[in-house]
Amino acid sequence: MNRKAKLLILVLTLVLSVPVIAQARDLPVFTELAAKAGKAVVFISTEKTTQGPSMEQFRQQVPEGHPFYKFFDQFFGPQMQQPRKMLGQGSGFVISPDGLIVTNNHVINGADKVTVRFQDDKKEYPATVVGADQETDLAVIRIKADHTLPTLKFGNSDDIKVGEWVLAIGNPFGLDNTVTAGIISAKHRIIGAGPFDNFLQTDASINPGNSGGPLLDMDGEVIGINTAINAAAENIGFAIPSTQAAKVIALLKEGKAPQRGWLGVTIQQVSDTQAKALGLPEAVGALVASVGKGAPADKGGVKQGDVILEVNGKKVEDNNDLLKKIAGLAPGDEANLVLWRNGEKVTRTVTLGQRNEKAMAAMGPNHQDQGQAATVLGMALKPISDQEAQALGMAKPQGLLVVNVDPNTAASEEGIRQGDVILQANQKDVNSVADLNSVIKSAEKRGAVMLLVTRQGRNSFVALPLDNK
């Protein structure tokens, strides 16, 4: 081998080895972090007592004239009506040496018995629920231990960057203290899990049983609480950001319920077409689809068709952003709103109410006020306003605006979408939900109703079955 060949081999060897050395040097070592943090992660098991299914539900499956009917109660009645125990499991982590533990609300919700077990201590500790918040899916439970417990502390999820390494610890499928590693795949994910979606996405494997466990940065601080998975995908998990969770947990551990502001409006995303029709420079803000009668927004002068652009001087990006900004204020606080109305900005000040089940029910889809949406055949419908008709390019307000569509209904299967307008049913004009219900009632014998639907200036007929309204 000549000198040039030897030199070439030497150069190639050095070049090829550099990335390997650099890569090996950059890979984190998780052993110490996993061992230390794992001591504060717990396995949570639950028991819930449920009543057996009613006899009437099963009896309906057997015709009264059937020979088996008269023996039904004798053979199956006592067995079916017996209470049954449902078992559940999840994860959590200790946040105080005296036994406060954070987990998900869905892990402990409705449980009659909650039990905690540690990795190094196989003793089982009975737990009591200190506080829970369904809307953020967070809960705090407490155990009494005879020694000081190891803890984890919250980090700042706002500082974590996409691509940074993270570690998930939990009990997937009941396998105690399983450790998985990955990176932050994305931030601010909205997955439809609740009203305050703002998830961290990670490719660290998260499975059933991981719920409530910590997502740790490389300093061993909790930057997320593992909560949800995408069952149809591999290595896509979601965690509640620590900065969002910490505020709620601070209240829950004191036995207090979060108090959230409430406007009393239904809102929707502003599309590019709507922004153009409304004269908005860009598709931002939240379009007010309806205003509850007597609600804080109604009292403050907010109108249907307004676009909310700012709250207390902060820009509103979309409807989800508005929801978070308002909920971040307390009942009784004043919200200074910048609205887009009739091609110009106006300001209104609203004294917020309290977001709770009663308030939300008043704004629910079955409310029959003209500004509200009512559900018919799996579609949330409302009479269309002047502003909405203008935004959709209609010559005049007519028909029913589709506010939402249940994806598990024939309406969705037949292609009806949010933003469509139903003009007619069985060739009769429908300008109210009552009009549509009247046509449906008269069409029950046919078993179907024909709708005339308009979308972006194009009309089409859609037939929906009535056998499963």
Spatial CA neighbour of 445 closest among 427, 426, 460: 426
Looking at the annotation, which residues are catalytic? Answer: 106, 137, 211
> Which tokens sit at 349?
């000040």
Using the 8-state DSSP alphabet, how is residue 154 labeled? B
**Residue 451 DSSP SS3:** strand
Calpha distance 375→379 (Å, rounded): 5
Three-state SS across 3-66? HHHHHHHHHHHHHHHHHHHHHHHHCCCCHHHHHHHHCCEEEEEEEEEECCCCHHHHHCCCCCCC
Using the 8-state DSSP alphabet, how is residue 160 labeled? -
> Which tokens sit at 469?
């309204």
Backbone angles phi, psi at 213, to 5 degrees: -80, 165
Query: How far from 116 is each of 43, 107, 123, 208, CA to CA, in Å?
Result: 6, 12, 8, 17
Query: How far from 4 is each of 8, 9, 18, 198, CA to CA, in Å?
Result: 6, 9, 22, 60
Calpha distance 387→396 (Å, rounded): 10
Q: Which helix (H) or strand (E) holds 96?
A: none
Cβ partners under 8 Å of residue 82, min gap 6: 52
> Which tokens sit at 37?
């943090």
**Using CA atoms in the order 162, 167, 171, 175, what is the torsion angle rounded to 10 degrees?**
120
Calpha distance 331→259 (Å, rounded): 7
